[in-house]
């Protein structure tokens, strides 16, 4: 079976800090640099599931790199280089403490809230009579969330963000504008590949070392941050009240719901068989190839004698030695 990367514990040249997120291991370096290693951990409902998914980290890292390059003319991003298919080096930014979620269709969390009777989401009123997968009246809506260090992110309105001092109003207006611009580009990129981008989220940070410019940080337009459906048959299936074929992590969430798990207090994630983990990995690879038009080449095939962690640490060390930080 393909070896999966559950976690890393590197000691890198110039390392000043380390943080383990739900999916990524993050290394702070001197010279205002940051390294994100995309592991094969998978989370849903803000809970890390018990088994890693083969190839998932590589898919996320390479898809993020693909889309960050494809949107660099829209918003500057944090990326400097990708020394390994699972690792990215970039600018360390002061992250804004909100995630900018944008929705073009009534799906996922928004649909579950609506189906339970909710008609307001992050200060946005929704009319009666909508069905799952319906396009949202008036166009895409912004439904930001807080960024929880642990536990669940929480929906929050624009007014609350400003009133609580999470983001200055002038900067939050910029975040909204950048979010809509990125979503327009992401929608166009998806349509060119025969997909519908239903919703997604973006994270932004302020690069004080570069004069305070706002950069998009972390991943964008990946199956962990976005929902996609195949465009073919989408409107017909939706009109009949049937679920269009999805190409995103939503099928994992639906499986968990079917197993009685939604990340609520006292709930335990269901067991995951090797076959199920392999099937999830195959869906990630399918989305990568569909979105990029490229054939997926497993990083394990490039260095079959090394463990994934050893390969990544070696390549990062080589790159950092050849590209020292500007102030070193």
pLDDT given for residue 250 in this prediction: 81
Q: How far is 304 from 307, CA to CA, in rounded Å? A: 8
**How does pLDDT run across 150-184, given as a tens digit for each residue?**
556 789 999 999 999 999 999 999 999 999 999 99
pLDDT given for residue 152 in this prediction: 60
Q: How far is 109 from 178, CA to CA, in rounded Å? A: 23
326: three-class secondary structure by DSSP: coil
270: three-class secondary structure by DSSP: coil
Q: What percent of the chain has pLDDT over 70?
A: 97
The CB density around residue 134, as the number of other CB atoms within 10 Å, is: 15
Contact 38, 87 (CB under 8 A): yes
Residue 94 has pLDDT above 70, yes or no: yes
pLDDT given for residue 327 in this prediction: 63
Residue 148 has pLDDT above 90, yes or no: no
Residue where the block lists tokens 């302020």: 206
pLDDT given for residue 26 in this prediction: 97
The CB density around residue 43, as the number of other CB atoms within 10 Å, is: 16
Residue 308 has pLDDT above 90, yes or no: yes
CA quadruple 137, 138, 140, 144: dihedral positive or negative?
Answer: negative
Find residue 229's DSSP bridge partners: 196, 246
What are the b/e assignments for 65-102, b being 16+ CB within 10 Å? bbbbebbeeebbbbbeebbbbbbbbbbbbebbbbbbbb
259 Cβ partners below 8 Å, 6+ apart?
Answer: 270
Residue 99 has pLDDT above 60, yes or no: yes
Greater confidence, 324 or 205? Answer: 205
CA distances to 44, 60, 161, 221 from 54, rounded to whole Å, are 16, 12, 38, 20
Q: How far is 78 from 217, CA to CA, in rounded Å? A: 6
pLDDT given for residue 151 in this prediction: 52
First to last CA, the chain: 42
Contact 209, 245 (CB under 8 A): no
Q: Read off the pLDDT of each residue in 15-23 and give the average, rounded to a whole number.
A: 94
pLDDT given for residue 9 in this prediction: 96
pLDDT given for residue 326 in this prediction: 74
**How does pLDDT run across 268-299, given as a tens digit for each residue?**
999 999 999 999 999 899 889 999 999 999 99
pLDDT grade for 46, boundaries at 50, 70 and 90: confident
pLDDT grade for 118, boundaries at 50, 70 and 90: very high
Q: Read out DSSP for 25-76?
A: EEEEETTTEEEEEE-S--EETTEE-SS--TTHHHHHHHHHHHHHHHTTTTS-
- Listed by start position, the domains of the chain span 98-239
pLDDT given for residue 304 in this prediction: 79
Residue 1 has pLDDT above 80, yes or no: no
pLDDT given for residue 224 in this prediction: 86
Q: Read off the pLDDT of each residue in 124-139 and give the average, rounded to a whole number.
A: 95
Contact 237, 208 (CB under 8 A): no
**How does pLDDT run across 204-261, given as a tens digit for each residue?**
999 998 999 999 998 999 988 999 999 999 999 999 989 898 887 888 988 999 999 9
Structure tokens at 93: 């930014």
Residue 140 has pLDDT above 70, yes or no: yes
**How does pLDDT run across 54-89, given as a tens digit for each residue?**
999 999 999 999 999 999 999 999 999 999 999 999
Q: How far is 254 from 237, CA to CA, in rounded Å? A: 18
CATH number at 98-239: 3.30.470.20
Mean pLDDT across the chain: 93
Whole-number CA gyration radius for the chain: 20
Q: What percent of the chain has pLDDT over 90?
A: 84
Predicted TM-score of the model (pTM): 0.90
């Amino acid at each position: 079976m393909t070896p999966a990367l559950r976690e890393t514990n590197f000691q890198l040249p110039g390392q000043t800090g380390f943080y383990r997120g739900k999916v990524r291991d993050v290394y702070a370096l001197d010279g205002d640099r940051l390294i994100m290693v995309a592991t094969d951990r998978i989370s849903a409902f803000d809970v890390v599931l018990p088994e890693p998914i083969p190839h998932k980290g590589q898919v996320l890292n390479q898809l993020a790199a693909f889309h960050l390059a494809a949107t660099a003319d829209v918003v500057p991003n944090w990326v400097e280089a990708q020394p390994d298919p699972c690792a990215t080096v970039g600018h360390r930014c002061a992250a804004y403490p909100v995630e900018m979620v944008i929705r073009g269709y009534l799906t996922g969390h928004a649909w579950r809230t609506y189906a339970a009777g909710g008609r307001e989401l992050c200060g946005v009123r929704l009319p009666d009579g909508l069905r799952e997968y319906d396009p949202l009246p008036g166009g895409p809506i912004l439904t930001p969330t807080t960024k929880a260090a642990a536990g669940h992110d929480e929906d929050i309105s624009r007014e609350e963000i400003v009133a609580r001092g999470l983001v200055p109003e002038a900067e939050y207006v910029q975040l909204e504008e950048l979010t809509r611009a990125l979503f327009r580009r992401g929608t166009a990129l998806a349509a060119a590949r025969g997909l519908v981008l239903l919703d997604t989220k973006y994270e932004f940070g302020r690069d004080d070392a570069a004069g305070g410019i706002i950069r998009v940080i972390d991943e964008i337009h990946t199956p962990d941050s976005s929902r996609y459906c195949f465009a073919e048959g989408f409107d017909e299936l939706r009109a009949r009240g049937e679920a269009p074929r999805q190409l995103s992590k939503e099928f994992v969430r639906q499986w968990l719901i079917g197993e009685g798990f939604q990340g609520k207090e006292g709930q335990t994630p269901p067991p995951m068989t090797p076959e199920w983990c392999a099937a999830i990995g195959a869906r990630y690879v399918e989305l990568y190839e569909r979105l990029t038009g490229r054939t997926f080449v497993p990083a394990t095939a490039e260095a079959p004698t090394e463990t994934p962690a050893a390969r990544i640490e070696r390549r990062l060390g080589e790159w950092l030695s050849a590209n020292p930080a500007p102030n070193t």
